[in-house]
Structure 1
Amino acid sequence: MAHAPSPALPGVRVERELSPRAVLTGAVLGILLTPSNVYAGLKIGWSFNMSIIALLVGFALWQGLARGASTRPAWTLHESNINQTVASAAASIVSGGLVAPIPAYTLLTGHQLDPLPMMAWVFSVSFLGIWIAWYLRPALLNDHGLKFPEGMATLETLQQIYNQGREAVARIKVLCSAALLSALVKWVDVFAWAIPRWAPTPALERLTFTLDPSLMLIGFGGIIGIRVGLTLLFGAALAWGGLAPWLIGHGWVVLAPNASGPQFAALVEWLLWPGVSLMVCATLTSLLVRLWQVPGRPARQATHARLRLTPWPAAGLLLAIALVVTLQVLLFGIDGWMALLSIPLAVCLAVVAARVVGATGIAPIGAIGKLSQLSFGLIAPGQVAINLMSANTAGGAAGQSTDLMNDFKVGLAIGATPHKQLAAQCIGILIGSVVGVLVYLMLIPDPKALLLTQQWPAPAVATWKAVAQTLTQGLGALAPELRWAIAAGSAAGVLLGALDSLLPQRAARWLPSTAALGLAFILPASISTMMGLGALVTWLASCRWPGLAERFAITAAAGLIAGESIMGVGASFWAMLRAL
């Protein structure tokens, strides 16, 4: 049955929405795109929003099929929206803990979850976030001070491809070409002959300054922008080119005699402490300042009148709470009352995250995780499971809540049906939980041997692990020089986080990116260098050919990321089959 015309595209009516082909297309794209985010999250600690890729691929596929068969119904605007909701929900499953608290828990306790319990856990925290978003929807979407920039970018792409179909076809050609090139380079490096990692001198090679032949890193550089890219270059020079040789010279880091090749593992054990401290303090400071600046009423007042527990949504919320609490008790041995305590904290922090995303477009999931770790560190000091997995509840719920709020913003503009979007999101996280866990276990069969290495730096894992260690063992367990490094990193983080949020945008853009600066202390210099190079090349191209760069730069970058990451996952799968 048709509904009202869409306010975004006048004259468009909702004829087909949650159709089997829309769900199936989103599911297939989610299966293909989820490995990219798992791979990238373990490699560099960042993930990519897959909404726009799903929109472009789905449109190109079904419009092409419709031209080939005149009797086939057109791929509607609202089917496109359901397709991208399912695919982006699946790909965003990494916020459920796969690339941060779950591996950190294994590293600290030696306990690796089996596949089915891990799938259930990742699904449960994401499922909780979906129902929190459902109850936040009326209040936050009616707050005109919250623009939801990421949702608006998806809406703008949706409008463009339905108003200018040829533009979508052009972009999909660029996306596929970049993906094929990136996959080919990765295939040559893995299966044909290893592309050499060149370094200017053996001394710089030991400090991880090598040229990494990764087009995925170039692609990420094209997305992050020139400010973040230059900060990564500066941070790599500061941490690995300046501080690392000083640590070796003073004997605070001891390398093996006649050590050759990159000495990442030995150096990162020291460098991660100032880097993590800087990131945590900067993000928490920025979060508090941004929340204070968010327009409109406080979250508690804005949502109070609208949180009516109508029957079927209330049943969904209660089921999500029961799942999360039960799994904390059964899988991690957490006391029931402590597991219950994680629920109100998750709800409060998801509200905070949703309002910050609505105002700025920046998802403060890392800050939410650290804030929950600090909270449980005070409530239950010395307990690793509670510190990591109860905090994982808040981070995972906040991640899915913000993802769905962006989709709700798009749906409001095009006249979509909210409960059908919610159903699509549930389907997406179910697919993402299964695929994401299988890919994670395929890539990292032995976390203790593989993570925090040159191949898998896993900076998010290092951050969660370091915070948990500090809160459970106390600062007194660390060497005095590390305590000074933490103090210096924390002070720099508070200062930069406050300046970034308080200064006018024109002045703040000249500050280094605090997230990138802290990350450069944890990533090998080779990764930071390649990402910085990608950002620089993209910026130069945008200066020389602004029109082409605006149309195709992000699309080409997304293709480079998807091609290499999917080929990398395939290579790991092939290696696993050969070992059987």
Structure 2
Amino acid sequence: MEQEQHSREMRRMDREDSDEETDNIEEVDNVATEDVKIPSWKEQLTVRGAVASVVIGVLYSVLSMKIGLTTGLVPNLNVSAALISFVLMRSWTKLLEKTNLLKTPFTKQENQIINTAGTACYSMTYGGGFGSYLLGMNRKTFELAGGNTKGNSANGVKEPGLDWMITFLFVTAFAGIMALIPLRKILVIDYKLPYPTGTATAVLINGFHTPKGDKQAKKQVRGFLKYFSFSFLWGCFQWFFTGGVNCGFLNFPTFGLKARTNSFYFDFSLTYVGAGMICSHLVNLSFLFGSVLSWGLMWPLIKERKGDWFPANVPESSMESLNGYKVFVPIALILGDGLYNLLKTVICSVKSFQAAQKMRKKSRTYPDDNKHLSEEKHNKAFLQESIPMWLSFVGYIVLSIVSIVVIPVMFPQLKWYYVLLAYVIAPALSFCNAYGAGLTDMNMGYNYGKAAIFLFAGLAGNNDGVVAGLIGCGLIKAIVTISADLMQDFKTGHLTLTSPRAMLVSQLFGTAVGCIVAPLTFFLFYKAFNVGDLTSEYKAPYALIYRNMAILGVRGLSALPSHCLQLCYGFFTFAVAANLLRDFAPKRFGKWIPLPMAMAVPFLIGGYFAIDMCVGTLIVFLYQKLNKRKADLMIPAIASGLMCGDGLWNVPASLLGLAKVKPPICMNFLKGAN
């Protein structure tokens, strides 16, 4: 009887949760039509919001820097950041309410402003190229790429430095903000681009600021705090067992010592378990497939060809050894996937653009009826506090001139006319990327950056090509990526009735903070850990990949080791074919086709993180099977807690490393005696 009564009670609670969520969705849908006063753009900007955005920016900078320097592939954290901004501000305002000191209520507009500034701040950690093109210029990456050889000149070495990195970010980061401001109405209102991540963030923020949404937010807050605490304490516990080389849970031979040698083990990193809960099942399974294909099959077989395919007496780090295949084969996958998606995005954008033009003409002929009143309210709020057109043009021109003067002084390999060329072509590329991101939710800035590597490396030639290619990549990537991110934020602002003028100010503020926080965060890792070493946890795989792309742009196919060209052709073709199958095969088959971009990551760094990510995806799968509604509510909070707790532990761990404080215990695993 007690069990039966308990079962009935659980079913009743599930129905209540279901009813609450259904009501909440309805309130989210109707929130735009509520007759509430919208704060002015100055009222949306608050001191407490600025403080909260800095806290979020710093926390997520540490988190995304860790992920960027280990796997190189950072998941989209916008929704997670929106959740944390709500948690911080609602906790703060609730405290002030109890002391009768709260004068200004916490609104969804302020929530979005905090989210915009915080996201702009931590975006500089991966958008600034610390794990890719900037780090690709240091001596360690130069040596990993083969040392002083043709196309890989010692002239292309520049060690990381706080002074030039902060200067470089300030010079390059703001142009992307100015590039597309005049087109915000066209992209957001006229063409009604969905920007799925921006829309999802808006739905989350709107839902928080309703009575039922507040109840659900409290559940998410409790879940976040619980898993944040567990993750932080687990990171602290693990640290005590890492007092030596290859020590700690990081090297636990989950599947045996032989599997660990081939990078197959669970390293107990809750950061990647949380990231796996955020990423889709397909992304995580693609990681695992790439790991099995490379470290399970290809590299052991190619290693047996030592002395035949590559010399037996060269060091393992040389591009003429097995390491060359580990670098250039994933480059082929990345380029095949990137080229296909770039062409697909351009074609889809052109077709959608033409359709949108026809709809605009049609809308001039047929007036809107009453069902569009809600949309008109959003449009009016989005346009009533406009941003002066001259600000965008003057700002972009001034920033271009500053870059044309400053960047060639910092990097003599990149001539002033190369910088001018980058700033001339960047706005057109920014529009294409922002339009494509609005349709597909794929920011292709990194692909435009890769194309720029080959362009500028080829123009600069043998001695200067590597640095010219890498910095040229940084210029194009920064402008194109930030423009699309800003339009996505404008979409969220449009749906939350947030002023574009206030969002622009918050974006500028967050970017300025990020230009300082990101280099400081990078140096926290760079000084405390062995960043860029392929045998360490912080491999920074894209630094080596990007440098070799630049070398390839200078030398051509002669940079490839023996038989590597044939493998590259095969994997480039595979990447294109996989995308074609996913797009044109029946959906029941296409949804199982692996993603080449995700497959490429473990080719160089190993399969251990794919195991972590798949543990995360398994947790999500089981949770959704048990209670899908509750899982959809709690998974973002749980994943954010796991990632933030483990990520925050890296700060005291780095400080302990800088202070030369070593863990007291070494836990290692050795083969037993026969």
Scaled by the length of structure 2, what TM-score is found?
Answer: 0.78
CA distance in 2 between partners of 1:501 and 1:165 (Å) = 40
Quick one: which amino acid aligns to residue 103 of structure 1? L
Q: Is the 8 A contact 1:99 1:461 kept in 2?
A: yes
Deviation at 1:17, TM superposition (A): 0.2
CA distance in 1 between partners of 2:82 and 2:451 (Å) = 31
Deviation at 1:192, TM superposition (A): 5.2
Q: In the alignment, which residue of structure 2 is the partner of 1:175?
A: 224
Relative distance call for 1:453 and 1:355 in structure 2 (3 A) is farther
Q: What's the CA shift string for 1:468-508, capped at 9, x where partnerless?
A: 12112221132222222221221112222333344565543
Identity over aligned pairs, percent: 22
| 1:102-251 alignment runs, 5 A limit | 102-106=134-138, 107-108=141-142, 109-163=156-210, 164-191=213-240, 194-195=248-249, 196-251=251-306
Q: Which moved more, 1:353-362 or 1:104-113?
A: 104-113
Q: Is the 8 A contact 1:140 1:146 kept in 2?
A: yes
Deviation at 1:436, TM superposition (A): 0.8
5+ residue gaps, structure 2: 1-29, 143-155, 243-247, 359-386, 663-674
Relative distance call for 1:491 and 1:395 in structure 2 (3 A) is same
Q: Is the 8 A contact 2:330 2:600 kept in 1?
A: yes
Q: What's the CA shift string for 1:443-476, capped at 9, x where partnerless?
A: 1249986443341122332331221121122211
| 1:33-72 alignment runs, 5 A limit | 33-47=60-74, 48-50=76-78, 51-72=81-102
Q: What's the CA shift string for 1:163-189, capped at 9, x where partnerless?
A: 121211211221222222222221112
Scaled by the length of structure 1, what TM-score is found?
Answer: 0.90
| 1:516-531 alignment runs, 5 A limit | 516-531=598-613
Quick one: which amino acid aligns to residue 100 of structure 1? S
Q: Is the 8 A contact 1:60 1:169 kept in 2?
A: no
Q: In the alignment, which residue of structure 1 is the partner of 2:127?
A: 95
Deviation at 1:387, TM superposition (A): 0.5
Deviation at 1:571, TM superposition (A): 0.8
Q: What's the CA shift string for 1:113-135, capped at 9, x where partnerless?
A: 42122012123322111111313
Q: Which moved more, 1:247-256 or 1:400-409?
A: 247-256
SS in 2 for 1:146: coil
SS in 2 for 1:537: helix
Q: Is the 8 A contact 2:180 2:427 kept in 1?
A: no
Relative distance call for 1:212 and 1:19 in structure 2 (3 A) is same
Which of residues 378, 382, 387 in structure 1 aligns to 2:469?
A: 387
Deviation at 1:579, TM superposition (A): 7.5
Deviation at 1:191, TM superposition (A): 3.3
Q: Which moved more, 1:525-534 or 1:321-330?
A: 321-330
Q: Which moved more, 1:503-512 or 1:79-88?
A: 503-512
| 1:330-479 alignment runs, 5 A limit | 330-333=409-412, 334-382=414-462, 383-445=465-527, 450-479=532-561
| Higher Cα Rg, which structure | 2
Q: List, as ranges, runs of 4+ consecutive aligned residues in structure 1 with deviation greater than 3 Å.
A: 199-202, 252-257, 265-269, 298-302, 377-382, 445-454, 498-507
Q: In the alignment, which residue of structure 2 is the partner of 1:81?
A: 112
Q: What's the CA shift string for 1:70-117, capped at 9, x where partnerless?
A: 341211221111111110110111212222110012233331242122
Which of residues 352, 361, 364 in structure 2 aligns to 1:296?
A: 352
Q: What's the CA shift string for 1:167-225, capped at 9, x where partnerless?
A: 11211221222222222221112235632521434332221122211111111111112
Q: What's the CA shift string for 1:503-524, capped at 9, x where partnerless?
A: 5655431211122111221231
CA distance in 2 between partners of 1:449 and 1:407 (Å) = 32
Q: Is the 8 A contact 2:530 2:538 kept in 1?
A: no
SS in 2 for 1:472: helix
Q: CA RMSD in A?
A: 3.0
SS in 2 for 1:297: helix
Deviation at 1:301, TM superposition (A): 9.1
Relative distance call for 1:31 and 1:558 in structure 2 (3 A) is same
Quick one: which amino acid aligns to residue 83 of structure 2? I
Deviation at 1:289, TM superposition (A): 1.0
SS in 2 for 1:406: helix
Relative distance call for 1:301 and 1:572 in structure 2 (3 A) is farther
Q: In the alignment, which residue of structure 2 is the partner of 1:28?
A: 55
Relative distance call for 1:500 and 1:59 in structure 2 (3 A) is farther
Which of residues 408, 418, 431 in structure 2 aligns to 1:329?
A: 408
Deviation at 1:236, TM superposition (A): 0.9
Deviation at 1:142, TM superposition (A): 2.3
SS in 2 for 1:8: helix
CA distance in 1 between partners of 2:355 and 2:269 (Å) = 43
Q: Is the 8 A contact 2:449 2:476 kept in 1?
A: yes
CA distance in 1 between partners of 2:217 and 2:648 (Å) = 23
Relative distance call for 1:373 and 1:500 in structure 2 (3 A) is farther
CA distance in 2 between partners of 1:212 and 1:519 (Å) = 17
User: Is the counterpart of residue 280 in structure 1 residue 310 in structure 2?
Assistant: no
CA distance in 1 between partners of 2:525 and 2:280 (Å) = 29
CA distance in 2 between partners of 1:423 and 1:343 (Å) = 23
Q: What's the CA shift string for 1:511-549, capped at 9, x where partnerless?
A: 111221112212311111221222122122212221121
Q: Which moved more, 1:372-381 or 1:76-85?
A: 372-381
CA distance in 2 between partners of 1:357 and 1:477 (Å) = 34
CA distance in 1 between partners of 2:32 and 2:197 (Å) = 16
